[in-house]
C-alpha cells in the first residue's frame, strides 16, 4: 500500500481566524481530526460527541450529547453559542456503520444507523441555523460517504443513510441560501477506529487499498483539509456540492 503524501507543511494558520465552529463526532476519527485542524487554523471550536471529547485544541470546549436527541442537541448548541459568542460554522462528522446483509439487518439497527447518520445531522443543522443566520456567511459541512455515491454489498443501511445526507444537504443548500452555505464531503475508507473495527490490517492493505486509484486508504487529516476548505472564505462561491475525497474510488 502506498504511503500518504506528507502534508505536514501545509499552511493552515489563519485560514479560519475568528470563526466559531461546532464539530460533531469530535472524540475520535475524522471528527477529532477536524477539531484539531480547525483549531490550528485559528477557529474557536466546540467539540461535541456522545462522550465529552477530551483531546481538544487550545480554547476549544467539549460538549456531550447524542445527536439523535433533539433536546440534548439544542442544549449543547446553546452552550456552544454562549461559550463562543455565536456559531459561524458546523461540521457534522458523527456517524456509525453497519455491515449486515440487507435481509439480515435488524430493523432496530437499520433505524439506529439512519437516526445517527441522517436524522442526527439534520437535528444539528436545524438547531444551529438561527445562529448561522445571525452570524452571516454561515457554513455547514455534512459528512456522507463514498458509499452514498456508489455502495457495496453489506452496506444497505449505511449507504442509504449517507445517500440521504447528500440529498438533504442539497435541499438545505437551496433553502438556506444565501446566508448559509451547505456542502457535503464523501470520504472513502479512512484510517479511523470505525474502519479498523471492520477490517484486519492485512485486509486494509491487500483488499481495501487496491480498490482506490491512489492505492491506499485515506488519513483523517486529509479529509479534514477538505472540510477546512468548505468552511473557509476560500469557498465563498461554493454551495450544494458533493466532494468525493476518496482516492479515486468513486470513479475508479
Q: Which residues are catalytic?
A: 158
Which helix (H) or strand (E) segment holds residue 142: the answer is: strand 138-143
Separation of alpha carbons 148 and 68, rounded Å: 20
Q: Residue holding cell 470505525?
A: 194
DSSP per-residue letters across 47-109: EEESS---S--TT-EEEE--TT-HHHHHHHHHHHHHHHTS--EEEE---------TTTS-HHH
**191 phi and psi, to 5 degrees?**
-75, 80
Amino acid at each position: 500500500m502506498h504511503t500518504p503524501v506528507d502534508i505536514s507543511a501545509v499552511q493552515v494558520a489563519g485560514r479560519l481566524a475568528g470563526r466559531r465552529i461546532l464539530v460533531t463526532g469530535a472524540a475520535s476519527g475524522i471528527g477529532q481530526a477536524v477539531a484539531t485542524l480547525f483549531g490550528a487554523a485559528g477557529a474557536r471550536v466546540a467539540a461535541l460527541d456522545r462522550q465529552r471529547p477530551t483531546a481538544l485544541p487550545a480554547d476549544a470546549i467539549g460538549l456531550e450529547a447524542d445527536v439523535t436527541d433533539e433536546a440534548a442537541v439544542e442544549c449543547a448548541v446553546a452552550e456552544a453559542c454562549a461559550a463562543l459568542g455565536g456559531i459561524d460554522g458546523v461540521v457534522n462528522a458523527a456517524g456509525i456503520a453497519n455491515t449486515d446483509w440487507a435481509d439480515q439487518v435488524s430493523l432496530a439497527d437499520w433505524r439506529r444507523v439512519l437516526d445517527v447518520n441522517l436524522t442526527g445531522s439534520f437535528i444539528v443543522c436545524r438547531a444551529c441555523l438561527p445562529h448561522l443566520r445571525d452570524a452571516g456567511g454561515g457554513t455547514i459541512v455534512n459528512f456522507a460517504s463514498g458509499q452514498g455515491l456508489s455502495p457495496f454489498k453489506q452496506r444497505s443501511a449505511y449507504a442509504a443513510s449517507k445517500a440521504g445526507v447528500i440529498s438533504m444537504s442539497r435541499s438545505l443548500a437551496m433553502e438556506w441560501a444565501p446566508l448559509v452555505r451547505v456542502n457535503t464531503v464523501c470520504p472513502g475508507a479512512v484510517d479511523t477506529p470505525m474502519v479498523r473495527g471492520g477490517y484486519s490490517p492485512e485486509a486494509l492493505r491487500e483488499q481495501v487499498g487496491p480498490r482506490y486509484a491512489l492505492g491506499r486508504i485515506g488519513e483523517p487529516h486529509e479529509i479534514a483539509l477538505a472540510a477546512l476548505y468548505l468552511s473557509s472564505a476560500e469557498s465563498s462561491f461554493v454551495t450544494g456540492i458533493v466532494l468525493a475525497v476518496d482516492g479515486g474510488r468513486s470513479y475508479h
